[in-house]
Each structure stands twice: as C-alpha cells, then as structure tokens.
Amino acid sequence: MAMAKELLSINVRNALDKPISHHAVTYGVPLAEGVLRECDKLALRLANGQLAPVQTRVLERHFDGSVKWLLLDFDMPLEASQTGKVALIQGRSVAPAEDLRVEETDERVTVTTANLCAAIGKRRFSLFESYLVNGKEMTAPGSDIIVETLKGKRFYASDSKGLDVRVIESGHRRVVVQVTGRHTAGDGSEMLTFRVRCTFRPHEPGVAVSYKFTNAEPPERGVHLGSIRILLPTALGRETTKHVRQRQTGEHWLPRIVEISENVEMIAGDPAGDEGRNRYGEAAGGSVVMRDLDTLREDLSKYSYYLRPDNPRAGMGGGLRQTYPYLAADGEGGSVVAWFCEMSQNFPKGISCDRNVLTFDVWPAWAGELHLRRGMSKEHDLYVSLADTRRTALEMEAIYFERETAWAGEPSPVELTLDPDYVRSTRVLELHRWLRCDEERYMLVEAKLSPVLKGQGPLGRGMLDYGDYVPDRNRTHNNENDPILDLMRDYYRRGEHGSLLTAIVEARHNAHVDFIAYDPNPLRQGTMPAHCPEHTDGATYPSHMWADGLMAAYCVSGEPDFREAALSVGENMLRWQKDDPVIFYETSRECGWPMLAFLRLHEHTGEQRWLDACREVFEFYRRKAEKDGRITYHLPFGVGLFRQGYGEFISWRACFFYYERTGDEEVKDFLIKCLSDVEVYKRELASIERGGGWACNDLFPAWAVYTLTGDDRYIEDNYNFFRVLMRSEGKFPFSGVDVHFYLNELDRRGVLEELQA
C-alpha cells in the first residue's frame, strides 16, 4: 500500500464549552499547482488521529489541470473547547459507515439519512411531501409559502404551474435538493420567483432549508407587499407544549426555560419604541423577543422599578421579553425544534407555533410595507428538526446551540482557519506577494493596515441591509473597491475566522440584495449598482462591479450563487465594452476594473474571450498614453478645463497582471515606459492629496516597475515617501490594500522595521 501523503491541515476550534458529537463542515481549500490531480483517494485525519470520509468537488483548476480549489464536506466530533487540526490525506479512502441515500423518480426526490427520510414532490410544492422518522410521518398536509400584497391578495408556492426540482449536490456527506417556481394566485397571476434548497447530512437530526425570493416583476419601481410566510403543519397533535429560553428574568437577570401551552410567537423587530431608538440607536433593534410579554407569566410587582419594561434601559432590546432565537414544541405525536438562522441580524422576522403548525414569517404582517425593488433577491436560512418522540427542552436546545451561536455574534460555534504560510505557498489571491502578518515586528504597519482590510464600518442590520454598510438612508458604502476580496485576504493572511464570516455575509448581500437579477436594460441586467441605500435603485457603471471578491467567496464556500453572480458581472461588463464604449473608455477607472475582472474570470474558466476583452483595454491604454507615459483625461468630464489622471492606478494594476498572464512583451515594454516616468512611480508629499493620482499612493507602480526591471531605484526612491505615509495621521490611503506588494518587498530587503519607525 502506498504511503499516505498529507496535503494540508485545517485549524479547528470549538468555541463552546461543551462537546459536539458531529459538526458538519463545507469548506473550500486552496492547493498549489501540480499537487493534486485526481480526487478518488482522499480522506481526513481527525484531531484524534482517526481517518474519516470526505466528500469533494473541484471548484477551480490551475492552468496545468491540477486542482486549485477543492470543496470538502465532512463531519467531525469535537470535545468541549477543543482546538486541533484535521488533515487532508491523499492515498487513503474511507468508506462512510452511515447511509445518505438519494432516490429520484418522476414524482419526487427522496433523501434518507440516519435520522429521517424526507420526500420532496415534483408535482405540487410542499416544503416536505413527507418527513418520516422511524417510519412515522411527522408532517401534515398544508405546507406552503404565501406572499400577500398590501390589499390582501395571496400568491402560493403550492399553486406554481411549473416546478423545477433537481438534486444539485449529491454525495455521502451532503445532499442538496433544489426547488424553483413562482408564487401564484388563484387567477393564475404570479408574484416573485422562489427557490427552496433543502440540505441533508448523514448525522443531522434535521434539515437546513434556504428560501430565496427574486423580484423579477416588470414594475420599474418594484413591488409593495404586506407579508411573506412559510407554513409547516406537523403531526405533533393539536395540543402542544412550547419551550423557549427567556434570556433574562428575576432580580439577577438570569435565563430560564419556560413552558407555554397557548400559541407562541417569537419576533425579531424593533421592540424598544421611539425612546429606545433615540437613546440607544442600532442596539435597540433586532433583538429576538416574545411578542406578548404575558406569555412568559412574569409578576412585575416583584421587580425593582429599574428592571421593569417601562424603564428605557431595562427595556432596551426587549428587556424581559428577550429569548434565545429557537422555538421548541412537543405533543403526543412527537417534537420539533426550529429557528431562523441569524434571525436577529435579518429582522423583521417571526416564528410561531399555534397548536401543531409552525409559521416562519420571512416578512411579518406587523412589520408594515415591504418594498422590493426590481431585480432584488434575498435568501433566508432556517432549520427544522422533527422527532417521533417527546424530546426534552434541553435536548432540543442542544440541537440549536451546536449549530448556531448567532445570539452571541457568531453564526457557528466552530472556527476554521488555515496556516497563513500554507496559503502563501499556494499562491492564491496574490498572497505570496503580500506582507506576512507579524504584529510583534510590524505593529505600526499593522495598525495602519487593519481598517482597510476589515471594511469601512459595521455591517448593516435588517433583512435588506445585513451585509452592507448603511449609515443612513442617504448614502451607503456598498460596492466600493471590492471589500469582499479585502476581507478574504485578511482571513487568510491573519488567520482570523471573523473576517471570513463577514466576507460571506457581504458576498451574500452582494450576490442577492445588491444584484439586479432582472432588468430589461441589458446594461443593468445581471450586475450591481454602486452606493445605493436602496440597493438596486441606482445607476450601474463598469468601474463599480466586482468579480474577484465573489469568486474568492465561492472558492471557500462552494456557494454557486457567488460564482453565477461573478460570471454575470463579467458578461455585463462585456456588454458595456461592446454596446457603450463611450462610457467604458471614459477613464482608466471605467475600463481598468473590468480588465481585472476579465483576468479573474479567465483564470476560472480558461476561456480566451476574457483575454480578448483585456487586449482591447490594453490597446486603449496604449493609444491614450502620452509621450511621458502618463494617462490623463479632460476634467471635469465634458468641460475640458484641465487634464489630469483619473483612475490610472487601475491601468497599471490591470496591465501588470495581464502581462503576467500572457507574457506579452509589448505589454511589458509599455509598462516600463509608462512607470519609469518619475511622476508615475515616485511619490511626492503633495501626491497624497493630489486629485487623480491619489490611489497610486499604494506604491504599486513602484513595485511593478521594479519587478519588471529589477532596478532597485524604483523601490529605494520611495523610502522617504513611505516614511511620510507611516507618520501621517490615520491609515494608509484609500486603495491602500495594494501597498502590500511594496511592503512585502521592504520586508524581503530587511528595511521595513526601520522605515516604519
């Protein structure tokens, strides 16, 4: 038998102070060129030394055909607060001990795990046509998704005229079944396209369900709705006992589990009222609370005045009404535990149990009008676990805690990271050219870098703002300099799990809420506008469409929506280049960012057409360049008062990587001619604030011409300017993420520690 070879290891940390019997993982990992070509003999070595089966899918290949990004699906046990490593092993394969079976007929798709057998029908929509546990049916008829207008007209998923049901992921560790259709009214009219994905894993006690709506309706200004809800009748029986954990109660404000016999409604909204909002701002909204305080049977006479709900501080976020965001119930027919994932961050939301019927309010009726702009989508994740026995409240609570800790600010209790030096060795995302994170040696440099990499502010909260930065409804930060890519690089360079979580949240927002999935204008279809507080209600233009960050998020998550959005953005840019060249070639900024996107999509697909589009941009730069190598434009646009650079920093970045991709000597000669000009590569103090050339303050041109020529002066002539950057107030200038190339070269020379002081 051939020796097993360790390809890579993943750092694992259980943030819970309790063991997890099986933690399911879907995680993409990079590999260096030539390391792996076939995926038939792979296994995982767990932290305890045991080998475990792994499901794999190739997400991207190097140009030589070897695997560049590989998606892993596996599960593992974890001890309380455990840290350790799991290793991907080549040369061994492990047969799974558990069954995860898929059967498909013309009528339905049936998935069987160790804990359940669920059928998803192809003729008429139902969340589950059947959900068997130990052979016992746990659902009842009537499951549906209902979209209601402000005037009360209802559209049902169950009335969709044509369902598309398919298995989009099938393996021994994970199966995903997807259903798409249109919510349809009794008169045949339709409202919103829907997509439901059900994810099954061998050890899971339930099913992860994702519901996505897309506004593909014709009204230019969008549609106005009253509510969206998902119904799931269960077989628990008419008389059920509900279990919730109140977050704080009594004089000492401690949690407790409460049993409730009547109907229960748990909401995430804005419970603090105007006074709370004015006093506590964002902290006052989004908390998960019981809609009716009386349900919790509190005796307010036993509370000091400062702990009662009418005290603004005590009532902030809901006060005594606050609960953990899961709902459990049991009856003579069995038990259920369910929740909305990241419910607090995606408010308004509601989940209720009335007798044996679960209702998930994607947009509750009490929240008022939902205005969905044209082309906008939003995906919502929830989890349902049904059992044929009466599980205890603690048993059902444990299912929630092992899968989500969003109530504590983290959507998962388990953290995954890769060793930064390993990622550098794979040469993905140009990280082998970035400065290694060494906070002990380069504390001052890291202090000037971190906010650039961690985004421009906190993530917005609310169903349509989560993943964006919306300080108010007058402006927003979305779609500026590809923050998803910055966060992904930050995750790999620092090994910070939080940066990955934020990157995925931003990618979901970018690929759904900010993405124009439908528009009759081909220059708006399939891309995202910039800086729009209402997300898709704004202009699109080539310099503010991003593909690299979405592709990086796809490679770590395997989420096909990210890939499809990135490819769609590329297609949109091609249409701009062909159909509206006046705008596309207005400035270096407008065509330079697309050139970088074309390079990334060529890297992913290998299709020559992306390089052909890059060549057209390069030819424009060559025609536009002046004798001294600078690229300038008439500003203000259309007035022609003076000439200066505008976005030319992207010219150098895009052309440099285009040369590296193609080896075209004409491109190299052009870059050397342009970048050798002292006013291009050498930065002066005045250039920090100079219009047009400000983004070259990341010193990328100096690094690029040095890399092309090997001439040390291009690096050394900027030592004084770098000292000025280090001593200037605040962080590195906007677009400073690319200062890493210069920083890494200073580190290689051994001068960075001295220059930072």
* Residue 147 scores a pLDDT above 70: yes
Select from 408, 437, 453 the last residue of a domain: 408
> What is the Cα–Cα distance from 656 to 599, expressed in whole angstroms?
11
Kindly state whether residues 127 and 18 are assigned to the same domain. Answer: no
- Identify the DSSP state of 468: B
Q: Which of 484, 662, 645 is nearest to 562 (CA)?
A: 484
Same domain, 153 and 62: no
Cβ atoms of 339 and 326 closer than 8 Å: yes
Query: In this model, does residue 512 exceed pLDDT 90?
Result: yes
Of 534, 526, 528, 538, which Cα lies nearest the Cα of 568?
526
CATH number of the domain that residue 651 is part of: 1.50.10.20
Same domain, 73 and 118: no
Joined tokens for residue 731: 């962080």
Q: Which domain holds residue 54?
A: 5-90
What share of the chain has pLDDT > 70, as a percent? 93
In the chain, the number of structural domains is 3
- Which of the listed residues 408, 443, 474 is the one where a domain comes to its end? 408
In this prediction, residue 248 has a pLDDT band, given cuts at 50, 70 and 90, of: very high
For residue 63, tell me if it sits in a domain: yes
pLDDT score for 456: 43
Tokens of 467: 């993943």
Residue 1: the pLDDT is 47
pLDDT at position 474: 72
* Cβ contacts of 561 within 8 Å, gap of 6 or more: 379, 508, 511, 512
Do residues 449 and 496 touch, judged by C-beta distance below 8 A?
Answer: no
Report, as an integer, the average pLDDT of 400-424.
86
Is the model more confident about 539 or about 286? Answer: 539
| Per-residue confidence band for 275, with pLDDT thresholds at 50, 70 and 90 | low
Q: Which tokens in the block code for residue 24?
A: 């399911």
Strand segments, DSSP code E, in 207-356 are 207-214, 223-233, 240-249, 254-260, 264-268, 288-290, 327-331, 334-340, 349-354
Compute how many other C-beta atoms are within 10 angstroms of the C-beta atom of residue 412: 17
Taking the CA atoms of residue 319, residue 321, residue 327 and residue 331 in that order, the dihedral angle to the nearest 10 degrees is: 150
Rounded to whole angstroms, the Cα distance separating 362 from 209 reads 13
Position 612 in a domain: yes
Q: In this predicted model, which residue has the larger pLDDT, 114 or 456?
A: 114
| Lowest-pLDDT choice from 306-315, 422-431, 607-616 | 306-315
pLDDT in tens, 692-741: 455 677 899 999 999 999 999 999 999 999 998 898 888 887 655 789 99
Please indicate, yes or no, whether residues 642 and 739 belong to a single structural domain of this protein.
yes
- Alpha-carbon span 193 to 225, nearest angstrom: 14
What does 708-731 look like in DSSP terms, one character per residue?
HH--THHHHTTHHHHHHHHHSSSS
Pair (514, 369) in one structural domain? no
One domain for residues 615 and 677: yes
Close Cβ partners of 713 (under 8 Å, ≥ 6 residues apart)? none
Q: 54 in helix, strand or coil?
A: coil
> Peptide bond preceding 636: is omega within 30 degrees of 0, i.e. cis?
yes
Q: Packing angle between helix 648-662 and helix 588-605, nearest 10 degrees? A: 30
Half-sphere exposure of 379 (CA within 13 A, CB side): 22
- As a whole number, mean pLDDT of residues 162-184 equals 97
CB 612 within 8 A of CB 619: no
Tell me whether residue 280 is in a domain: no
pLDDT band at residue 452 under the 50/70/90 scheme: very low
Q: Is residue 25 part of a domain?
A: yes
| Contacts of residue 629, Cβ cutoff 8 Å, sequence gap at least 6 | 673, 674, 675, 676, 677, 680
Range in 59-73, 141-155, 460-474 with the lowest mean pLDDT: 460-474
Asked, for residue 283, whether it belongs to a domain, the answer is no
Residues 75 and 137 grouped into a single domain:
no
* Alpha helices for 41-155 (secondary structure H): none
Domain-located, residue 255: no
> In this structure, are residues 492 and 520 in contact, taking their beta carbons and an 8 Å threshold?
no
| Phi, psi dihedral angles at 437 (to 5 degrees) | -75, 115
d(CA 540, CA 474) in angstroms, rounded, equals 18
pTM of the model: 0.95
- Better pLDDT: 266 or 646: 266
Of 408, 434, 460, which closes a domain?
A: 408
Please compute the mean of the pLDDT values over residues 266-292 and round it to a whole number: 69
Q: CATH code at 395? A: 2.70.98.30
Both 86 and 49 in one domain: the answer is yes
- Looking at this protein, which amino acid is placed at residue 670? F
On the question of pLDDT at 491 being above 90, the answer is yes
CA distance 726 to 756: 6
- What's the burial of 433, exposed, middle or buried (CB within 10 Å: 0-12/13-18/19+)? middle
* 586-622 burial: b if 16+ Cβ within 10 Å, else e: bbbbbbbbbbbbbbbbbbbeeeeebbebbebbbebbb
| Same domain for 74 and 105 | no
Distance CA 65, CA 383 (A): 38
* Residues 709 and 591 reside in one and the same domain: yes
What tokens does 403 get?
A: 């899968």
CATH number at residue 55: 2.60.40
Residue 721 lies in a domain: yes
The verdict on 347 and 468 lying in the same domain is no
Contact present, 569 and 547 (Cβ < 8 Å): yes
What pLDDT digit, counting tens, does each position of 639-698 carry? 888 888 888 889 999 999 999 999 999 999 999 999 998 888 888 776 665 544 556 778
pLDDT tens-digit series, residues 617-630: 999 999 999 888 88
Residue that is written with structure tokens 């001990």 in the block: 97
3-state secondary structure 21-50: EEEEEEEEEECCCCCCCCCCCEEEECCCCC
On average, the pLDDT of the chain sits at 91
Per-residue model confidence (pLDDT) at position 284: 52
What is d(CA 611, CA 99) in angstroms, rounded to the nearest whole number?
A: 46
Which amino acid is residue 547, in one-letter code?
A
Instruction: Report yes or no on 289 lying in a domain.
Output: no
Pair 535, 388 in one domain: no
